[in-house]
Chains A and B, each alone.
Chain A
Amino acid sequence: MKKLAITAIGIAAIGLQSGAALADEFTQEDVDRWMDQFEQVAAEGRAHWTDGNLGTNGVACAQCHPNAANTHPETYPKFQKQLGRVVHLWEMINWCLRNPLEGEELAADDPKMIALQAYVYKERRGVKLDPGKH
């Protein structure tokens, strides 16, 4: 009798899982949609990367970093000589905005900054992490 009750509870529990919305439940459609949203932001980042409008002198990131090459995002955080301490990628992007582009910094959570980083990381997809590497 007890065994039956336990089994029944077990089945009921499984039934609950497959029908209702729990925290770790998402569909392939959700995944595709969220990936799309990332791609959109990365595409915005690509646009900022190439349009020469982030600074005041018309210079674009892409002029020194075609396809975001030579940015080494996989090495951050690391000691950055130009900033004098260990920093993350967004702080170095700000350094570039201020210096070669002669422009203003962006806040870490500024949509443009997030978009720039999304683009940089996307172009570096697949490369192993190597934090701290100079």
Chain B
Amino acid sequence: MRAILLVMGLLIISNALADPMLGLPPVPVPADNPQSDAKIALGDRLFNDVRFSATGLVSCATCHAPEKAFTDGPLSVSEGINGLTGTRNAPTVINAAYNRTQFWDGRSPDLEDQALHPFLNPVEMALPNHDVLLAIVRGDANYVKAFKQVFGVKAGDITMIEVTRAIAAFERTKVAGNSPFDRWYFGAEADAMSEAAVRGFDVFLKDGRCVSCHTIEQDHAVFTDHLFHNIGIGINNIQEKVPALARAFLVAKSEGVDVDVAVLSDADTSHLGRLAVTDDLSMVGSFKTSTLRNIAVTPPYMHDGNLKTLREVVEHYNNGGVTNEGDRVNDFISGGIRPLNLTEQQIDDLVAFMEALTSPAFVNANTKAENNMGGSK
């Protein structure tokens, strides 16, 4: 009897251990795009379909590769058709469902809208318009059958609305919690995190000042405040150019330049960040707070991928928003950034903590993650 109870007890515990959503809130699903297995499968196909590109070789998965934790590490900036480079680092799809805006500068309000843009961007898939994509879909018998089943539309009535809804539904299944941190903090497993990571969590909450933007809550953690901050990446190198650049960009924008195209075509313009979207002077050089989940397996870091390791990232913050200590802090730096005066030990521990945020499914992601494994314990 006792043996049976013991086994049952272990089963219950191991079930709790195996909850992949531990530490995550429920996935937000819009009312007009409910999940279904068939829709998710359709989205999966669309996500991986290389025909939706000018060369027939690039799909979403090219830059958001499943085996690379849905990024394209170790690339700093992504490469689209013909190896054309953009200016920004591919964010992971994992847990993107929780973001209140999409893209580094938040120019898309949701996953559905985000999916529209890369198809048309000249350095990504470079299609001249969405009709090319829709023609392929409407001419593919399997797609036609799937769209009929999921959305009840005939071939000729398939639009980008259905296409992007399916892609978004697939992306909403790419959520993962249950990292060593989740098990330790929310699951009360006292030895789920290393001692260094435990110390690092204290740095995260206190001397590191990380928690205010990379937020955690009482019973879950998404590690982002969904806001936009200038932390001195990119903009530091163009400080003298900012007045002329900001003026030129906003002039061009009012004359019809597409923001999505402009920010990926010129590195300096890209560094303007959220300013390009809202025209708000106080958003110069500001980018969205990314989640820290799976951060150890999604290098390199920042909107331009110019920081290669987590240690470099922490040092950038420790210096008060400059990569090399003593560099000039840019005038528009976020009010939350300041020199931290962390010790070497604290920096190592903070890195160890961030390494404890990887979900089990992505621990082996092939993104040259071994570069990040310095400094723990």
Contacts and interface: CB of A to CB of B under 8 A. Distances in A.
Direct contact of A and B (CB under 8 A): yes
A72 interface: no
Residue among A84, A86, A98 with the highest chain B CB neighbour number at 10 A: A84
A13 B206 CA distance: 59
Interface stretch (A2-10, A17-25, A75-83, A118-126): A75-83
Contacts of B212: 81-82
Contact of A79 (B207, B211, B218, B221): B218
Nearest to A82: B212
Contact of B215 (A84, A86, A98, A99): A84
Interface residues of B, number: 11
A128 interface: no
Interface size class of A (residues with CB under 8 A): under 10
Interface in A76-113: 79, 81-86, 98-99
B16 interface: no
A99 B209 contact: yes
Nearest to A99: B209
Nearest to B217: A84
A85 B218 contact: yes
A70 B211 CA distance: 22
Nearest to A94: B206
Contacts of A82: 211-212
A92 to B, nearest CB: 13
Interface in B214-272: 215-218, 221
B205 interface: yes
Contacts of B216: 84-85
A117 to B, nearest CB: 20
Given A79-B217, A79-B218, A84 B205 contact: yes
A99 B210 CA distance: 12
A16 B273 CA distance: 81
A81 B224 CA distance: 12
A79 B205 CA distance: 15
Contacts of A81: 212, 215
A98 B206 contact: yes
A62 to B, nearest CB: 21
Nearest to A98: B206
Contacts of A84: 205, 211, 215-217, 221
A39 to B, nearest CB: 33
Contacts of B211: 82-84
Contacts of A98: 206-207
A29 B209 CA distance: 49
A79 B221 CA distance: 14
A105 to B, nearest CB: 8
A85 B216 CA distance: 8
Contacts of A86: 218
Interface string B171-213: 0000000000000000000000000000000000111010110
A86 B218 CA distance: 7
Residue among B207, B217, B221 with the highest chain A CB neighbour number at 10 A: B217
A59 to B, nearest CB: 13
Contacts of B207: 98
A99 B208 CA distance: 11
Please provide the 3 A-B residue pairs with the shortest distance between their CB atoms, ordered closest to farther.
A84-B216, A84-B211, A82-B212
12 contacts: A79-B217, A81-B215, A82-B211, A83-B211, A84-B215, A84-B217, A84-B221, A85-B216, A85-B217, A86-B218, A98-B206, A99-B209
Given A79-B217, A98-B207, 16 more contacts: A81-B215, A82-B212, A83-B205, A83-B211, A84-B205, A84-B211, A84-B215, A84-B216, A84-B217, A84-B221, A85-B216, A85-B217, A85-B218, A86-B218, A98-B206, A99-B209
Interface of A: 79, 81-86, 98-99
